[in-house]
Amino acid sequence: MNPTTMTAPATKRGLALRLKPADWPVFALGSLLAATIATGHAMVTTPGVALSGLGILIAVVVLAFSRRQLRADRRSDSFTRLATSLAIATVLLGLTADAMLLAAAWIVSGRLMAGLIGHVGEWSEARDAARRATIAFTIGDVALIGAVTLLSIAAGSSDIVAIRSVAVGSSSLLTTAAAFLLVIAALARCAIPPFSNWLMRSLAAPTPVSALMHAGFVNAGGFLLIQFAPVLEASPHARYALFATGVVAALVGSAIMLVRADVKGSLAASTIAQMGFMLLTVALGAYAAALWHMVAHGLFKAWLFLGSAGTISTRPTRSKGLAQPWPALIALATIVGAIFLIEARRADALLPVCLALTALLSAMAVASRSLPRGPLGAVVALMPGALIALNAAVLVLMTALQPDAAQPLLSPYGQLGILSLFLTGWVWQQRIVSGEQALPPSLFARLLHAGNALTTSTPVSTTVIAKD
């Protein structure tokens, strides 16, 4: 037997392993992305690069994490294929120059995520979560298809650049209807009420799936609205509706966080709140701030979810809330900063910028409670300040790359009023988190019931549990 004969079977087996039928959809999707780029049907935009880069980075990190986390799972290969396909679909979604192809990538990514949510197929909870996700995604898909169809008819082309140019200054019925349909599609993808149910029930999925979902997948709604920003700007009513739902989501998500005892459930409620903040920022026309929020939230939430895997603790944890007078002082400093921005005529994105400032000042105050002594303590003390500087620099860069709306939705003083309401609620929330004040029993029961209505998971007293 010659060497060629001996190696032939091994070569055939290697090809067979590399070309499994289950891998064909992944290769097909990759080929479609390559063909889109090669034929000039791709374009580079700031929101597209942000979404694509975030999707690739999160996918790489999660796949590396899943090699250990899912090493004993007999479906680990299926997870790898679906996660890889989702990353490819996300890049296609972010880079395509054709609205019809964007809609196709949107639909495919939704079906892939539904498959990932139902990863543990023998669990009734996982099957129910996948079913509810499919229903919510289908509503968003139909809305997006309708929007793309109307916009293509109005522009006479499905090219996104042509659609955006025609939509500028347009007040036609087609553009208005398309704007509302785009809002519905974004709400479904971002799990904004009344579409929050699918996200909360997805806790039955493994931790790597949750990281992919909360860190990357849900952000596509913000990308969609920024990509079609001229359409949204042409319909003030659609912007007001988006702003109102964003405010509701931020309040509902923040409230449910207070009564969730499980780690992943609390993080899921946090995602609802954060998506609400992102979409209200888009509605205000502060696209640069919304994009930076999308990227920063994605990276931070991926870290939180991957760190939550297998967390079990029955010991009371140290409160992360700030005791008085710190919350009140931070709120006062934020209001003073907001007034300064108004006087300096730099207040177009007043609400999101000041909320980000509040979050960073809070992080600085929390970190200062446990600073080690010596040089290390000094370095740690400087980190929040460095984060503030980094956020300011990135926001300036984002503003240069992604112009905000020509006409803000609310005046600076209108944003100041809403900021004051948010800060009042935040100060009250800090009193509860720090243990200085308890939620009224009736309100606690209502929030607990609302949280349980959104998910099959039931909080267990005060024990902190995260299911993988």
pLDDT attached to residue 152: 96
Task: Label residue 436 by pLDDT band (50, 70, 90).
Answer: confident
pLDDT attached to residue 141: 97
What's the rounded Cα separation, in Å, for the pair 215 and 238? 26
The pLDDT tens digits for 278-336 are 999 999 999 998 998 898 888 888 888 887 655 544 444 445 567 788 899 999 999 99
- Residue among 292, 320, 343 at smallest CA distance from 434: 320
Neighbours of 170 (CB within 10 A): 19
Is the bond preceding residue 325 a cis peptide, omega within 30 degrees? yes
What is the mean predicted confidence (pLDDT) over 136-155?
96
What's the rounded Cα separation, in Å, for the pair 400 and 423? 29
Contact between 46 and 402 (Cβ < 8 Å) = yes
The average confidence (pLDDT) of the chain is 84
pLDDT attached to residue 8: 43
More confident residue, 3 or 129: 129
What's the rounded Cα separation, in Å, for the pair 216 and 86? 10
What's the rounded Cα separation, in Å, for the pair 361 and 383? 11
More confident residue, 158 or 120: 158
Tokens 């196709």 identify what position? 104
Contact between 410 and 284 (Cβ < 8 Å) = yes
Lowest mean pLDDT among 31-35, 343-347, 445-449: 445-449
For residue 124, is pLDDT > 70?
yes
pLDDT attached to residue 461: 37
Which helix or strand (DSSP H or E) is residue 312 part of? strand 312-313
For residue 111, is pLDDT > 90?
yes
pLDDT attached to residue 314: 46
Query: Cα-Cα-Cα-Cα dihedral of 216, 218, 224, 226, to 10°?
Result: -80
Listed in sequence order, the residues at least 6 apart from 190 whose beta carbon sits closer than 8 Å to its beta carbon are 218, 219, 221, 222, 249, 275, 278, 279
Query: 3-state DSSP helix/strand/coil percent for the chain, to nearest 5?
Result: 75, 0, 25
Contact between 136 and 195 (Cβ < 8 Å) = yes
The pLDDT tens digits for 228-281 are 999 999 999 999 999 999 999 998 898 888 887 777 788 888 899 999 999 999
For residue 453, is pLDDT > 80?
no
Tokens 């809330």 identify what position? 321
In three-state secondary structure terms, 220 is helix
pLDDT attached to residue 280: 93
More confident residue, 17 or 103: 103
Percentage of residues in the chain having pLDDT higher than 90: 47
> What b/e sequence results for 195-228 when a residue is b if at least 16 CB atoms lie within 10 Å of its CB, and e otherwise?
bbbbbbbbbbbbbbbbbbbbbbbbbbbbbbbbbb
What is the mean predicted confidence (pLDDT) over 68-96?
91
pLDDT attached to residue 16: 43
pLDDT attached to residue 370: 61
Contact between 326 and 346 (Cβ < 8 Å) = no
Token pair of 38 as six digits: 């090669």
The pLDDT tens digits for 183-234 are 999 999 999 998 999 998 888 888 899 999 988 899 999 999 999 999 999 9
Residue 312 β-bridge partners = 465
Lowest mean pLDDT among 156-160, 269-273, 388-392: 388-392
Token pair of 40 as six digits: 């000039």
* Burial degree of 355 (CB within 10 A; 0-12, 13-18, 19+): buried
pLDDT attached to residue 147: 97
Neighbours of 121 (CB within 10 A): 12
* Burial degree of 20 (CB within 10 A; 0-12, 13-18, 19+): exposed
Greatest mean pLDDT among 89-98, 265-274, 341-350, 443-452: 89-98
